[in-house]
Amino acid sequence: MEISGAEIVIRCLQEEGVEFVFGYPGGAVLEIYDAIFKQDKFKHVLVRHEQGAVHAADGYSRSSHKVGVALVTSGPGATNAITGIATAYLDSIPMVVISGQVPTPAIGLDAFQEVDMVGITRPCVKHNILVKDVRDIASAMKKAFHIATTGRPGPVVVDIPKDITLARAEFHYPQSVSLRSYNPPAKGHPGQIKKAVNLLSDAKRPLIYIGGGAVLSNASNQVTELVKMLGVPATNTLMALGAFSGSDPQNLGMLGMHGLYEANMAMQHCDVLIAIGARFDDRVISVPSHFLSSPKKIVHIDIDPSSIAKRVKVDIPIVGNVRDVLDEMLALLRQTGARPNAEHLANWWKQLEEWRSHNCLKFDANSDIIKPQFVVQTLYEITGGDAFVTSDVGQHQMWAAQYYKFNKPRRWINSGGLGTMGFGLPAAMGVQLANPDATVACITGEASIQMNIQELSTCKQYHTPVKVINLNNRYLGMVRQWQEFFYGNRYSESYMDALPDFVKLAEAYGHVGMKIERPADVEPALREAMKLKERLVFMDFITDQTENVFPMVQNNRGLSQMDLPPHMRHLQQGTVAKERDYGNLS
């Protein structure tokens, strides 16, 4: 029986087991929306802005390991979705975005609400497809889901002209898809894995460097087993928080521009580095030449060959799915019993503990102004490290990453690659829908939250009781910090005057608002908010305006040349000299 193209789209989504479609209707997708009206297998979530739809699909995907699906109309609907798509692309999130397009005969004529979606998204998608025949919809959709979820995941856009959704065809959903030009690698090369294991057993100062790929491939158990089996230290990137428990003593914490002192020092001074699903990006190792100035052997496990040897040369590249490679590596380690030398390892740990003893995250806990770190720390304590936490981008994001110790993967949801302000709230909606009974907090700032604040309305409609933790310092905090450090305190356009009354704003949207101004009120307020299980609570914390994020690696500096917090300034002076001394330690 022939059905319409729009119905075919719906059937495809049903075949893929899609639970939620995040979207916004418009002219070019009205046929599809009419078909949605007539079905009840998946739920449509009506956002208030298309960017919110894509971020919500993204948050849904990150927290559930399922594909996020968004549906937008042509033209402005499509362009509004771009930031969300680019966000997902930079963080390798599996997603299918369906965009409407003007009817085929109108394409290229500057028709109303026409934009070349395939052209405009090309640099920020894993793949995109313009469907030109109703008989191609099913295969295009199958291909989209296949490509989005296999290999290094990423967003795929399917652009469907309106006349194609009206045309009719038989529906056959392909059971499988085979593309001669697309064969993502699975297993790593056994010879390379063996070499890596040998290298590990010769290591004096080994370190495991865990990236977002470990989360994406669901390799948390394997990573944990590897670290525990070898007794070696581990560090994780912003994207990997939770892949290895944040409260495990072998975890040195996050590394990078705002990484922990001990993690960055270990990264700089290790002699054997196992990089797992990580990509040595500029926010992680800063200047490659400085990073390599302390000699080290590098094993790099990644599913994407182009991530290997992109910024640093590696000694043992292993192309493959992280989980599969680690399974093989663990089997080999179990079989051979190869382990790093215990004495060397003990010396290494002694050094690591010395670095750790400075407690680089110490902050003034007795301040009579609310310290942002204190809010995150308290949230961690009362949720036991078990909440889903989304964030926006800026200082609050870094404090969330530093002070909330994630014990499980897929609990920390943030825009790491693109750094998209406005991500947190819509992402939290998606997380909450994927995990209806879980505690979902959105740690944000008064600037970021306003970039997609309209989604408070969506949260009301779909009863997503997100706890919004607004760290309100009346500044674009990270911009202000850079201006303080590098621009002579000239705070150009980084102050937010005329902020809304967030309590009234929350109430206007039908939620609960709270304003918290004293440190003593932080914990009781958080506890009270958590008790309101069915309600979205917007908590406006009035925090210290002058607080900076430490440690900090400046752009042109080496990873170990950190700007340190006030109580560690004595170490900062000697960083470079100390490094040279340490280079000879064996």
Partner 1 sequence: MRHILSILLENEAGALSRVVGLFSARGYNIDSLTVSTTEDATLSRMTIVTSGSDDVIEQITKQLNKLIEVVKVIDLNESDHVERELMLIKVRSTGKDREEMKRMADIFRGRILDVTEKTYTIELTGESSKLDAFIEAVDRTLILETVRTGASGIGRGERILKI
Convert residues 146-165 into a mask of x (bound to partner 1 by CB under 8 A) and - (unbound): -x------------------
Under the binding rule (CB under 8 A), the answer on residue 488 touching partner 1 is no
Minimum Å distance from CB 305 to partner 1? 5
Q: Is 182 in the site for partner 1 (CB under 8 A)?
A: yes
Q: Which of these ranges, 125-133, 193-201, 265-273, 496-504, lies near partner 1 under the rule CB under 8 A? A: 125-133
Beta strands in 115-210 (DSSP E): 127-130, 155-161, 168-170, 206-210
Place of tokens 């760290």: 471
Q: What are phi and psi of 405, to 5 degrees?
A: -90, 105
Q: Is 68 left (phi over 0), alpha (psi -120 to 50) or beta?
A: beta
Of the candidates 11, 48, 49, 127, which one interacts with partner 1 according to CB under 8 A? 127
Residue 306 lies near partner 1 (rule: CB under 8 A):
yes
Tokens of 297: 């052997």
Q: Which of 580, 585, 584, 61 is nearest to 290 (CA)?
A: 580
The count of residues interacting with partner 1 (CB under 8 A) is: 17
C-beta of 17 vs 119, nearer to partner 1:
119
Active-site residue flag, 561: no
* Cβ pair 261, 355 in contact under 8 A: yes
Contact region with partner 1 (CB under 8 A), list: 7-15, 96-104, 115-123, 374-382: 115-123
CA nearest to 440, candidates 427, 449, 453: 427
Q: Considering only CA atoms, which of 250, 317, 245, 242 is closest in space to residue 279?
A: 317
**Token pair of 555 as six digits:** 């752009």
Q: Is 354 exposed, middle or buried (0-12, 13-18, 19+ CB in 10 A)?
A: exposed
- Rounded least distance, CB 140 to partner 1, Å: 12
Selected catalytic residue, list 7, 31, 50, 446: 50
Q: Return d(Cα 168, Cα 176) in angstroms, integer.
A: 23
Active-site residue, selected from the candidate residues 162, 296, 297, 467: 162
Active site annotation includes 408: no
**133 in contact with partner 1 (CB under 8 A):** no
Q: Is 118 in the site for partner 1 (CB under 8 A)?
A: yes
Would you count residue 119 as binding partner 1 (CB under 8 A)?
Answer: yes
Q: Is 62 in the site for partner 1 (CB under 8 A)?
A: no
Minimal distance, residue 129 CB to partner 1, in Å: 9
Q: How far apart are CA 301 and CA 326, in angstroms?
A: 9
Angle formed by the axes of helices 190-201 and 322-336, nearest 10°: 60
Token output for 363: 């902050």
User: From the CB of 571, what's the least distance to partner 1, in Å?
Assistant: 35
| 485 labelled catalytic | no
Residue 123 or 295 having the CB closest to partner 1: 123
Q: Which of 38, 175, 176, 180 binds partner 1 (CB under 8 A)?
A: 180
Stretch that binds partner 1, among 124-132, 280-288, 437-445, 447-455 (CB under 8 A): 124-132
Does the annotation mark 112 as catalytic? yes
Residue 305 as a binder of partner 1 (CB under 8 A): the answer is yes
Which of 14, 112, 229, 507 is labelled catalytic? 112
Length of the chain: 586
- Is 229 an annotated catalytic residue? no
C-beta of residue 167 within 8 angstroms of C-beta of residue 132: no
DSSP letter at 255 equals -
Contact call for residue 495 and partner 1 (CB under 8 A): no
124/583 Cα distance (integer angstroms): 41
Residue 22: CB minimum distance to partner 1, A = 24
Q: Applying CB under 8 A, which residues contact partner 1?
A: 118-119, 122-123, 126-127, 130, 147, 179-182, 304-306, 309-310
| Residues with catalytic roles | 50, 112-113, 162, 478
